[in-house]
């Protein structure tokens, strides 16, 4: 029975802390936009294009490789096989 003298104030104190934390989170806007961050993750650009002033100078000089331009990817290898209709076992 004497344990109740300890547990009841402890429970009331923990409840007061929980209510204070909830009031703080509402006042600071933690619950304002629940769906926005979920959509922002889907629409996030992982590789943003950043314009570097050094790259603009290289483009004006005509050097496309140092300007960071995207070139055509290398052609895929056919694995040693010819597409001319020859014998596939050769």
* C-alpha span between 20 and 8 (Å, rounded): 18
The answer on pLDDT for 85 being more than 60 is no
The answer on pLDDT for 13 being more than 90 is yes
The answer on pLDDT for 14 being more than 90 is yes
- 27 inside domain: yes
- 39 inside domain: yes
User: Taking the complete model, does pTM exceed 0.85, yes or no?
Assistant: no
- 31 inside domain: yes
Query: Which pair of tokens denotes residue 85?
Result: 């209709």
- In angstroms, the Cα distances linking 22 to 6, 18, 34, 58 are 25, 6, 16, 55
- 62 inside domain: no
Query: Range of 14's domain?
Result: 8-44
- Please state the domain count of the chain: 1
Tens of pLDDT along 20-32? Answer: 999 999 999 988 8
* C-alpha span between 69 and 52 (Å, rounded): 12
- 60 inside domain: no
């Amino acid at each position: 029975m004497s344990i109740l003298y300890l547990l009841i104030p402890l429970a009331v104190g923990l409840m007061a802390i929980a209510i204070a934390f909830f009031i703080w989170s509402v006042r600071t806007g933690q619950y304002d936009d629940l769906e926005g961050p979920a959509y922002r993750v889907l629409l996030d650009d992982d590789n943003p294009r950043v314009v570097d002033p050094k790259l603009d100078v290289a483009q004006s000089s005509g050097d496309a490789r140092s300007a960071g331009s995207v070139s055509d990817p290398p052609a895929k290898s056919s694995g040693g096989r010819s597409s001319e209709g020859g014998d596939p076992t050769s």
